[in-house]
Amino acid sequence: MGTVVDAANKEASGIVTDKKPTVVFVLGGPGSGKGTQCANIVQHFGYTHLSAGDLLRAEIKSGSENGTMIQNMIKEGKIVPSEVTIKLLQQAIQESANDKFLIDGFPRNEENRAAFENVTKIEPAFVLFFDCSEEEMERRLLSRDQGREDDNIETIRKRFKVFLESSLPVIEYYNSKGKVRKIDAGRPVEEVFESVQAIFSPKNEKAD
C-alpha cells in the first residue's frame, strides 16, 4: 500500500502549493469539551484551529454566491456537500502561514472522510477523540448558559444519535489504522488537558 500513499504525497505537494501540513481531526459528541481543549492546544502547541461550522458560517456572512447556496441548504435542512466544506478547509490551510492544524467537528461521516483525503490528499496525523458519556454531555449542555436554542433535551438527544451513527464509523476507520488517540473527556478540564499534553508533547508521546 506504500506506493499509493507515496503517489498521493507526491500529488499533494503539487496541489497544496508544496505545503505538507500536519492535520489532526478533533472529534467528540456535543458537550464533550472539544472547543475548550482546542483553545488550550492552540495556546500551548501553536496549532491553528479550524472549525468546519465556523468556516461555513463565515462564508454565509460574507454574502458570496457560495455563502447564499450554503445558507439555503441549511435552511432546507439539507447537509452541505462534503466538497463545499473541504474547499473552505483547504483554502484556510493554504492561506495560513502555519503548517499545523486542528480540524474540529469534521469529518462528520465516512463520506466526508473519504472525500477529504481524496480532494486534499492529506491524511490526518491522528484523530483526537474526546470520549464522554451521554449523561455527562447532557448535563454540561443543559447547564451551560450560552442561550443556544438547540440546547434542549430533545434536540440534544437527537444530536447524540447523529454523532453516534455518523461519526463513530470514522473513528473506527482510523482506529483500525492505529490513528485514534482516545481521551476520557468526562473528567475536569485540567485533567483532560494533562492527557492532551501527553499526546502532543513529543517527549511524552508514549505516556497516556
Residue 57 labeled ligand binder: yes
Residue 157 labeled ligand binder: no
Residue 28 labeled ligand binder: no
Residue 112 labeled ligand binder: yes
The rounded distance, in Å, linking the Cα atoms of 98 and 55 is: 17
C-alpha cell at position 181: 488517540
- Determine the angle formed by the axes of helices 52-61 and 82-95, rounding to 10 degrees: 90
Residue 2 labeled ligand binder: no
The rounded distance, in Å, linking the Cα atoms of 134 and 162 is: 13
Residue 32 labeled ligand binder: yes
Residue 3 labeled ligand binder: no
Is 192 in contact with 185 (CB distance < 8 Å)? yes
Return the bridge partners of 9, or none.
none
Residue 79 labeled ligand binder: yes
Is 38 in contact with 104 (CB distance < 8 Å)? yes
Residue 100 labeled ligand binder: no
Residue (of 70, 31, 33, 65) closest to 54 by Cα position: 70
CA 12 to chain centre: 20
Residue 203 labeled ligand binder: no
Residue 77 labeled ligand binder: no
Residue 33 labeled ligand binder: yes
DSSP 78: P
Phi, psi (degrees; rounded to nearest 5) at 23? -120, 130
Residue 106 labeled ligand binder: yes
Residue 105 labeled ligand binder: yes
Binding residues for ATP: 31-36, 144, 187
Sequence ranges of the binding site for a ribonucleoside 5'-phosphate? 57, 78-80, 105-108, 148, 159
State the binding site: 31-36, 57, 78-80, 105-108, 112, 144, 148, 159, 187
Give the residue numbers of the binding site for CMP.
Answer: 112
